[in-house]
Amino acid sequence: MRGTGTTTTVDVAGLIKEFGRFRALDGLDLTVEPGEVHGFLGPNGAGKSTTIRVLLGLLRADGGRVRLFGGDPWHDAVTLHRRLAYVPGDVHLWPSLTGGQVIDVLAAARGGVDGRKRATLLERFELDPTKKARTYSKGNRQKVALVAALASDAELLVLDEPTSGLDPLMEAVFQECVTEVAAEGRTVLLSSHILAEVEALCDRVSIIRAGRTVQTGTLDDLRHLTRTTVDARTRTPATAIHDLPGVHNATTDNATTDTSAPDTTSPAGPGIATPRDTGGAGHHVRFDVDGDHLDQAMRTLAEFGITALTSSPPSLEELFLRHYGSPKGGSPKDDARKNGSPEHDTHDGIRDHDPDGADPHDHDTATTPARPTAAQAPHGTAAADRSWEGTAR
């Protein structure tokens, strides 16, 4: 952990947020210490964005404790917003302003911006600030919000899927910038479903599912998340794979496939067999292996004569299904539909989030006092100060 401060930056305990009869956050816990880069992980619909909206004071908590810099995000939003910068995953800008003007407006909410840093970031992200916002692609809209946030001197950066729409080159630039921000001792809360991005940047991570925190720790603590799935065919049965350390869910069979009709759609080329092809003969083996034991598993597999092989890291969604899925015959979604409400997982009592991945924020007017829009809020009011978050979503 890089920080040396004494006041916890984000302190959330037992957070509850309901939209009508639907409980989006069901006792969520989250702690972010000063100076750390904290990953906030979960599949789509787990409650990440809802949690962030509560932290920003855009939604009011229905229960639990929520503290940001020791203050109440709902009652102290104006003061707290001057100490943070926010980048959502889907940025909407004022269409008649240029990108540069939007950056200046957002910077003014926090007392200005470093001009040299602003110019450097515009160059690094290859963003033309003279173009009207209406002409920007999704990726360029993200760049506007990122430049505004990174050019500020905010103590806390709240980043909710910030690289959505960026190409791989710009994702690399983003990671460099976050590393620099962390080196300055500032705090970052990074919400993402991209595991590799979080692994590269974060000191600690909190994993949520269905509105509850299911795991928190350093990446070393959560090393099981780096398992790779290997699917291969070998000349002789790879029975020894079952006994290797770090290998899980290994299955083998000695079915010989028909070689008379090679797969012309194989990614390896016409007529070339892959583990799932109908072309080629051999013994099929499939297993998951921890990252620390991948090299040994590959050496052992090679002893049996590899004829075809594919490997892939599991997606975060797959990891959640693997570790926290419903143990019943049906899926959590099926259970929820049968019961007419979010189901209870028998492992830990976790309720599944919106089964269709819909954002419950669309329904929040039933239980949450309405906030004025940027156009309705007079200058100098709390709503005006927080209007840029609502507009830049």
- Is 50 exceeded by the pLDDT of residue 192? yes
Q: Single out the residue in 268, 288, 312 at which a domain terminates.
A: 312
Same domain for 131 and 186, yes or no, is yes
Could you give the number of structural domains in the chain?
2
Mean pLDDT over residues 7-13, rounded? 95
Looking at the structure, do residues 202 and 242 belong to the same domain, yes or no? Answer: no
Pick from 201, 165, 162: nearest CA to 180: 201
Query: Which of 264 and 62 is assigned the larger pLDDT?
Result: 62
pLDDT tens for residues 66-104? 999 999 999 999 999 999 999 999 999 999 999 999 999
Do both 149 and 33 map to the same domain?
Answer: yes
Residue 235 and residue 220 share a domain? no
Phi-psi region at 290: left, alpha or beta (left = phi > 0; alpha = psi -120 to 50): beta
pLDDT given at position 111: 76
- Between the two ends of the chain, the Cα-to-Cα distance in Å is 30
Question: Helices 168-183 and 115-124: crossing angle, nearest 10°?
Answer: 150
Q: Flag whether 379 is in a domain.
A: yes
Max Cα–Cα distance, the chain, nearest Å: 76
Tell me the pLDDT tens digit for each residue of 365-393: 333 333 433 333 333 333 334 434 334 43
Residue 85 inside a domain? The answer is yes
Claim to verify: residue 57 and residue 144 sit in the same structural domain: yes
Rg of the chain over all Cα atoms, to the nearest angstrom: 24
Task: Give the bridge partners for 234, in sequence order.
Answer: 283, 306
Q: Is residue 387 part of a domain?
A: yes
- Distant-in-sequence, close-in-space partners of 181: CB < 8 Å, separation ≥ 6: 150, 157, 188
Neighbours of 242 (CB within 10 A): 12
Q: Do 124 and 260 share a structural domain? A: no
Per-residue confidence (pLDDT) for residue 317, from 0 to 100 = 56
Asked if the model's pLDDT at residue 323 lies above 70, the reply is no
Distance between CA atoms of residues 56 and 48, nearest Å: 13
323, part of any domain: no
List, in sequence order, every beta strand (DSSP E) within 73-182.
Answer: 84-87, 156-160
| pLDDT greater than 80 at residue 358 | no
Which of 293, 312, 331 corresponds to the end of one domain?
A: 312
352, part of any domain: no
Given a cut of 70, whether residue 311 has pLDDT beyond it is yes
Residue 382 lies in a domain: yes
Mean pLDDT throughout 139-147? 97
What pLDDT score was predicted for residue 364?
37
Q: Which token pair is 375?
A: 């156009």
Domain membership flag for residue 117: yes
Question: Is 136 found in the same domain as 53?
Answer: yes
Residue 350 banded pLDDT, cuts 50, 70, 90: very low
Task: Provide the CATH number for the domain around residue 27.
Answer: 3.40.50.300
Residues 137 and 276 in one domain: no
Residue 357 maps to a domain: no
The tokens describing 315, both together, are 């997606």
**235 and 186 both lie in a single domain:** no
pLDDT of residue 217: 87
Contact assessment for residue 186 and residue 35, using Cβ atoms and an 8 Å cutoff: yes
What's the mean pLDDT in 289-310?
A: 91
The reply to whether 99 and 178 lie within a common domain is yes
Provide the pLDDT confidence category of residue 270 given band limits of 50, 70 and 90: very low
The CA distance from 102 to 81, in Å, is 17
What pLDDT is stored for residue 314 in this prediction?
63
Q: Give the three-state DSSP class for 287.
A: strand
What is the mean predicted confidence (pLDDT) over 221-236? Answer: 81
Nearest to 193 by CA among 233, 225, 227: 225
Determine what percent of the chain is predicted with pLDDT higher than 70: 69
For the chain, how are helix, strand and coil distributed in percent, rounded to 5?
Answer: 30, 25, 45
CB atoms within 10 A of CB 379: 7
My answer on whether 189 and 292 are in the same domain is no
**C-alpha to C-alpha distance for 274 and 86, rounded to whole angstroms:** 45
Domain range enclosing 292: 228-312
Q: Could you tell me which residue, 387 or 244, shows the higher pLDDT? A: 244
Classify 377 as helix, strand or coil. coil
Sheet hosting strand 84-87, strand order edge to edge: 84-87, 156-160, 187-192, 37-41, 204-209, 212-218
Residue where a domain stops, chosen among 275, 291, 312: 312
* pLDDT at 320 > cutoff 50: yes
Mark whether 208 and 236 lie in a shared domain: no
Using a pLDDT cut of 90, give the percent of the chain over it.
55
Tell me the pLDDT of the chain averaged across its residues.
77
Place 275 in a pLDDT band, splitting at 50, 70 and 90: very low
